[in-house]
Structure formats: structure tokens, C-alpha cells
Amino acid sequence: MSERRLRKTEATRSFDRLPLNALRVFEAVATRLSFAAAADALHVTPAAVSMQIRTLEDYLRVPLFRRSGRAIALSAEGALLLPGVRCGLSELQQAMQQLRQDRSGGALNISTIASFLQKWLLPRLPQFHDRHPHIELSIHTSRDPVDFAQGDFHAALRMSATPTPGLYNEKLLDEWFVPVCSRELLARHGPVRTPADLKRYPLLRSSDESWTLWLHPGAEADWHERGAAFDDSLTVLAAAEQGQGLALTRWTLAAQDLANGRVVRASEQILPCPRAYYFVCPESYLALPKLQHLLEWLREMAAAFPRPGDAAALISADPISAAPARVAASARGPAAPQRAPLRARRPRPGAPRGARPAGRGR
């Protein structure tokens, strides 16, 4: 056993042997200089107080009080011990009080993917801060799975086709792919109604949003993806806004840009994404009030977020939005909580089957 590990083991064992309850009783007696008054304050019997003091004196092998009839006074050793005991008990009490407060407020560490944070979550955060000013969100972006046992994260928001095993999972949002471009590019090349129409456009793409997903079964792929490729979903959307090409992007990323007219839809067709956004955390963390506040707020925001079928109300600047969008049936609100590992749910009538995986979300 290494010296460092030995010291750690010895320290742990010494803490295990500390008579913490006796130290608490000692502080009560030393403050009141009365066994009876200390017993009343601690809601125990005077005999129990005397036994704890004897236990502590045996442990330290020194007398802590001088007794003269019913009167008691601190011994020199007791007077030396008292400040340290009071300091230790005070720090312990503060630590426990801080822990109780942190359950309802204080720092709340969340991990999510950068694109979802910037385009969907970030614009809504002021509403959360107004409602819960005592909760301090700390948001980290990553695509990697969160190791809750090793890190200090309370929850994660991830795109996934299935729940994460061993954790609490709750689906917040379904996702769709929509083709978007600048208004000028749409006027130049026209709407996309068939795969052949894609030949007219330079196609912007990423590894997560490949145009091969757009081909329906039986379609003739007599075209090839051409145009710029990026490793970031937000760069693809920004390039479309600048008129550099046609982008197949996620609905959650493009919805606000469509509403503001920065991009327009190039097709009535909408492709359901095989992945969805999940709220993930250890089951035990659900007991934290501050985490419950966040989850309840996310449910509310997700339920209020328009789906592509509601595009007429959201995308007033879209020149083809007068025609109803063709989208597969999907749940409008967040799905019921799921605890992994779970079996895959049976598809609802009309829901897409056999969707091709689109990789991890950025």
C-alpha cells in the first residue's frame, strides 16, 4: 500500500472513531456549565449527558470539568478543547445548511450540445432566470456522454434515438429536418418538389444532416451531393442565410430564423428525424427542488414550441407556407418520462418506420 493511500486510510479511520455526539454534548455542557441545563437543551436525560462526558474524557484521557458538589467548571484541558469543538461544529452546521440551500437554489450544472443551446435554449433562458432568480445555471457544451459519477453535472440535454441506459430519461422534443435557403436563392432556383430539383442547388451539408436522408424509398438518386460540407450544424445554417446554398437543417435550429425571415423554406416536405431531445439525469437527482424547477420549465417551453405542422402561425415570411406542410404524425407535447433501460416503444399509427440514423447532434 502506498504512503499516500496509507495516510488517507488512517485519516478515514480516525474520523470513524471520533466521538462526535460526545463532542456536541461537551459543547452544550461547557456553554451552560450545567448537566441538567444541557440535558434540557439536547432533549435527553442528565444521566445520558453524564455518560457522554465520561465517554469523551475516557477517549481523551483527561478530565474536562472540575466538579464541586453540583457546581462544575471547565478544567484547563476542557478550556483548551472548547474553541476547537465550537469551530468544528459551526463549520459542520454551515456545510449542512449550505447543502440544504443548494437543493433549492445555487449552482445547477447542465450539459447540452452547442447548436441546441445557441438556437433554442439560449433565447428562452431569460424567462427561466426571471422565474427562478435564486438558481444559477452553469451550462457546458459537449457531445460526449456525461459521466455523472465522476463529474459535477446535475443533468444533460442530449439528442438520442433511444433512452440512455441506467439514468432517468424524459423526451422533451421531437425533431425534424427542413430544407432552407435565402430568399434570393429560392427565387433564382425555385421550390424543391422532387429529388431532381436538388440538382439546381449547391447543397450545404454536415455529417449530421446529409442530403441522402431526403431521398424517399424508390427514388432515383441521379444526382450527387455537391457544395460545401461542414462539421458544424450552425455553420451550415449560417451559410444558407448568406445565400451560399440549400441546407438541410434541424427544425429546432431554424425555426426562429424562419420566423424572422433570415431564411425561407425551399420545400413543403418535412422529414422526421429519428432522434429526439432527452432530459437525462441520475434518478436520485430528481429529489433536488432546483432540478425539478428546471425540468418543469423545460416541459413548459417544449410544449409551447411550434411543430412544423404549425408553420403557418410561425413562419409568416415563408413564401410557400400557404400550402400545408406534409409531415408525419408525431407527438405534439413532451413524451411521458422513461427510465432506462427500456424497450423501444411501439410506433404510433402514421409514425415513420425504419428511419435512418443521422448521427449525433451538434
pLDDT at res. 106 = 77
Task: Read off the pLDDT of each residue in 25-42 and give the average, rounded to a whole number.
Answer: 93
Q: With bands split at pLDDT 50, 70 and 90, how would you rate the model's confidence at 89? A: confident
pLDDT at res. 154 = 94
26: pLDDT strictly greater than 80: yes
pLDDT at res. 355 = 36
Q: With bands split at pLDDT 50, 70 and 90, how would you rate the model's confidence at 225? A: low
Q: Which range (13-27, 86-100, 183-197, 232-246) has the least confidence?
A: 86-100
11: pLDDT strictly greater than 60: no
Q: With bands split at pLDDT 50, 70 and 90, how would you rate the model's confidence at 14? A: low
223: pLDDT strictly greater than 70: no
Task: Read off the pLDDT of each residue in 316-323 and give the average, rounded to a whole number.
Answer: 38
Q: With bands split at pLDDT 50, 70 and 90, how would you rate the model's confidence at 160? A: very high
181: pLDDT strictly greater than 50: yes
pLDDT at res. 48 = 94
pLDDT at res. 96 = 67
pLDDT at res. 13 = 52
Percent of the chain predicted with pLDDT > 70:
74
6: pLDDT strictly greater than 70: no
- Please indicate whether residue 203 or residue 362 has the higher confidence score (pLDDT): 203
Residue burial 163-173, b: 16+ Cβ < 10 Å; e: rest: bbeebbbbbbb
Q: With bands split at pLDDT 50, 70 and 90, how would you rate the model's confidence at 115? A: very high
Q: Which residue blocks in the chain are alpha helix, DSSP H?
A: 3-17, 20-32, 35-42, 46-60, 76-104, 114-116, 125-131, 183-189, 233-241, 251-259, 289-304, 311-314
356: pLDDT strictly greater than 70: no
Residue burial 243-278, b: 16+ Cβ < 10 Å; e: rest: ebbbbbbbbbbbbebbbeebbbbbbbbbbbbbbbbb
66: pLDDT strictly greater than 90: yes
232: pLDDT strictly greater than 80: yes
For residue 146 the three cell numbers come to 456525461
Q: With bands split at pLDDT 50, 70 and 90, how would you rate the model's confidence at 352? A: very low
Amino acid occupying residue 3: E
147: pLDDT strictly greater than 70: yes
Q: With bands split at pLDDT 50, 70 and 90, how would you rate the model's confidence at 347? A: very low
Q: What is the C-alpha separation between 40 and 109, in angstroms, rounded?
A: 43
3-state secondary structure 127-177: HHHHHCCCEEEEEEECCCCCCCCCCCCCEEEEEECCCCCCCEEEEEEEEEE
- Please indicate whether residue 294 or residue 336 has the higher confidence score (pLDDT): 294
Q: With bands split at pLDDT 50, 70 and 90, how would you rate the model's confidence at 18? A: confident
Q: Tell me the average pLDDT of the chain.
A: 80
- Please indicate whether residue 213 or residue 100 has the higher confidence score (pLDDT): 213
pLDDT at res. 206 = 85
152: pLDDT strictly greater than 70: yes
312: pLDDT strictly greater than 80: no
